[in-house]
Amino acid sequence: MDKGVNPVVEELLHRHSPKFYGMKEVYRCIHQENFITKAELLKRTNMKQTTVVRHLDALKEYGLIRIASYDESSGGRPPALYAIEPEAAFIIGIALSRVETTITIVNMSFQPVASETFQMTEKHTPSHTISLLKETIASLLEEHHIDINALLGIGIGTVGPLDRKKGIMYPEGFVAPGWHKVAIVEEMKKTFQTDIFLENGANTAALYESLRNHGGNKTILYCISGWGLRCGVLANGAIMQSRKGDASSFGEMIIDVSSGRTLASYISYHQIATEVVRMIKASERKTDFYPDLNDNKNEIMEYVLEELKKGNSVIENVVLESAYYYGIGLANMVNILHPEVVVLNSELIHVYPAYYHKVIHTAEAFIFQNHQQEPLFQQAEDAENPISVGACALTFQSKIG
């Protein structure tokens, strides 16, 4: 039997009348805390007891919340612990990048129900990619017996620049042609009659970290480095949106005034690959490093990652120099944004932990009054796709806000 959406979910999260606002606030508190008592709800909402009880009864009747268990009692009847009903609805999150695209379906607790990833190649034009997205989503819904009407919405975390309101992408750097002025939201709505939200992937990844850290109103800086640098920022729990929807602007920070070189130009894979080739060509022992030099930066970076695993000191020096400049740029971001949590996501970090430690050590040396700020530095988790799950969180927040 297919899992269908409770029609009250859509009504509750979409309407803004006083009647639904109070119920929505109670639901929001239960969702944030996972398990919460009526007494705690009274403190959190500042509502009268009769009002909270009325909302709780209605939410239970509609099948949106449940009594998960009972808390320890200090005497008398133990207080009920309220929790949301996870399968009241489902949310789809899409992480669309130049390298790969991931579709994730979560329940109302943001627990992944299904996920699938496909690689982006020279064949993945916008039309082909969107068709594949639609086919994959339909297949996942069928496989997991989820009615299409059970979808609360779809969130898309992708590469900017983009126009959030119009749902249009203007990205650069895709291997396939045609990735300019892509009306992805309009195209997806032709198949899925639900709300669709478009945001930069670095920002949706920051939302994911807010979930993982139970961030609430924390300020979080999330940095994705590789062929470029993209940074997402949550300021007191809300996405700090740039007007152009471009998360790569942090990479344009000037690091060397004399040459005008930017942070991205020091730390991108393009720069690392170029420097590795230069050092190899200058070496008298070329065959010990890379016998078939060419201009394919992807192949060079594959070689770099493999050599890092082997402990190639020449490659390590190049990568650690890049990490030094990354640390300087990161310190500048921390000095301006004052984040409580800083998350770094990079393939280099997973392959070569010394890279991460060099970045953090350098950043801490340049952070102004570091003893007062003391941001929590973290590596991105590798278990789930933070961009697609974060896109689900974006959808939920957009509907409940």
Which of the four CATH numbers 1.10.340.30, 1.10.10.10, 3.40.50.1370, 3.90.79.10 does domain 7-86 have?
1.10.10.10
Predicted local distance difference test score (pLDDT) of residue 44? 87
Neighbouring CB atoms inside 10 A of 351's CB total 14
Predicted local distance difference test score (pLDDT) of residue 1? 44
Question: Rounded to two decimals, what is the model's pTM?
Answer: 0.85
Q: Where are the beta strands (DSSP E) in 80-219?
A: 80-84, 90-96, 100-107, 112-119, 151-158, 162-163, 168-169, 196-200
Any idea which residue has 């249009």 for tokens? 168
In Å, the largest CA–CA distance within the chain is 83
Any idea which residue has 């350098």 for tokens? 362
Spatial CA neighbour of 281 closest among 292, 296, 269: 292
Hey, CA dihedral for 97, 98, 103, 104, is it positive or negative? negative
Residues of the chain with pLDDT > 90, as a percent, come to 49
Rounded Cα distance between 327 and 330, Å, is 5
Q: Which distant-in-sequence residues (6+ apart) come within 8 Å of 202 by Cβ?
A: 222, 223, 224, 230, 231, 232, 247, 387
Spatial CA neighbour of 218 closest among 206, 227, 226, 202: 206
Q: Which CATH superfamily is domain 220-379 in?
A: ATPase, nucleotide binding domain (3.30.420.40)
Do 88-215+385-400 and 220-379 show the same overall fold? yes
How far is the first Cα of the chain from the last one, in angstroms, to the nearest whole number? 32
Return per-residue pLDDT of the chain as tens, 401 residues. Answer: 455 545 556 555 555 566 677 888 888 888 888 788 888 999 888 899 999 999 898 888 888 888 887 766 555 567 888 998 888 889 999 999 988 999 999 999 899 999 999 999 999 999 999 999 999 999 999 999 998 888 889 999 999 899 999 999 999 889 899 999 999 999 999 999 889 999 999 999 999 988 876 656 688 999 999 888 999 998 877 888 776 667 788 889 999 889 999 999 999 999 999 988 888 777 655 545 554 556 678 888 888 999 999 999 889 999 999 999 999 999 999 999 999 999 999 999 999 999 999 999 999 999 987 667 788 899 987 667 899 999 999 998 888 76
Q: Which distant-in-sequence residues (6+ apart) come within 8 Å of 341 by Cβ?
A: 209, 213, 215, 218, 219, 220, 221, 375, 376, 378
Neighbouring CB atoms inside 10 A of 357's CB total 14
Spatial CA neighbour of 349 closest among 389, 376, 307, 382: 382
> Taking a C-beta distance cutoff of 8 angstroms, is the pair 362, 327 a contact?
yes
CATH code for the part of the protein at 88-215+385-400: 3.30.420.40
State whether residue 9 is helix, strand or coil.
helix
Q: How many residues make up the chain in this entry? A: 401
How many helices (H) and strands (E) the chain has is answered by: 15, 16
Rounded Cα distance between 102 and 93, Å, is 8
What are the sequence ranges of the domains in the chain? 7-86, 88-215+385-400, 220-379
Strand partners, 221: 233, 342
